[in-house]
Chain A
Amino acid sequence: MSDSGECMTKDPAFLEALRRDMLKFARLQLRDDALAEDTVQEALASAFASDNFSGRSAVKTWVFAILKNKIIDQIRVRNRSVNISALSAEEESMDQAFESLFSSSDRWSQAAMPSDWGSPEDSLRQKHFWEVFEACLNHLPENTARVFMMREFLEFDTAEVCKELSITVSNCNVILHRARNGLRRCLENGWFLPGEQRC
């Protein structure tokens, strides 16, 4: 496998697929098409500029590591001007939807009993599941998505997320809980209960 990297970088189809994949990943995190394009372009350019590029067997791993760092740089620049803990209308409505699942005694209400989603393998090996999953990620409000992506896809720990975004740990926990329950609701509607009436 020692020189497969070189072969792949000379293969236009491989490069195009890689670029498309990178773009999708960058768009999810940055929520800005032009900025995502620039960031991917920059990541590819610095990958090509490096002597390490040819001969690398794990080209994709390596290029994505560069891309992650570029995304983190962008997030750092942009977060200086963003108040992450301010709630948008969308986030407020997510919180209301979550609260409505419970009775006044904080137990699941009869209508909101969690349903069996079956085994992960059954869903995760289906292409359509991943389309729904990505759509659900895209559907998260921007600030909620930012914190969730940093935690799950850029692999920050909570302390680092708090530091980068100047929020408290408890605030961070609230946002991650909101993101997970928002994704849960979206997956339930879009994948696990297809055909069910939505309100």
Chain B
Amino acid sequence: MLKCKGVTHLLSESLDRKLTLKERLSLKFHLAMCGACSTYSKQMALLKCACDAYRISKHKD
């Protein structure tokens, strides 16, 4: 059973590789049930968004 700490690892890895179907399903299931992890995943999405924006700012005139 996937626990919150494991969720943080899977969410990080999801930014670097395609998760397996089993991983995606257990992640989805956990996030649906766990408000704290769901909030955490939104924080990670914001962080990713910031990194992308920062990188792209170096590509534009």
Q: A residues within 8 Å of B by Cβ?
A: 4, 8, 21, 25, 57-61, 64, 102, 105-108, 113-117, 120, 123-124, 129-130, 133, 151-153, 155, 157-158, 172-173, 176-177, 180-181, 183-184, 187-188
Contacts and interface: CB of A to CB of B under 8 A. Distances in A.
Nearest to B12: A177
A107 B16 contact: no
Given A57-B61, A106-B6, A107-B4, A114 B40 contact: yes
B61 A59 contact: yes
Contacts of B47: 180, 183-184, 187
Chain A contact residues, majority secondary structure: helix
Interface of B: 3-6, 8-9, 12-13, 15-17, 36-37, 39-40, 42-47, 49-51, 53-55, 58-61
Identify which of B8, B36, B55, B61 gathers the most chain A CB atoms within 10 Å of its CB: B61
Contacts of B15: 176, 180
A112 to B, nearest CB: 9
Nearest to A101: B5
24 contacts: A4-B61, A57-B61, A60-B60, A61-B60, A64-B58, A64-B59, A102-B4, A105-B3, A106-B6, A107-B3, A113-B39, A114-B39, A116-B39, A130-B54, A133-B50, A153-B55, A155-B55, A172-B16, A176-B12, A177-B9, A177-B13, A180-B12, A181-B12, A188-B43
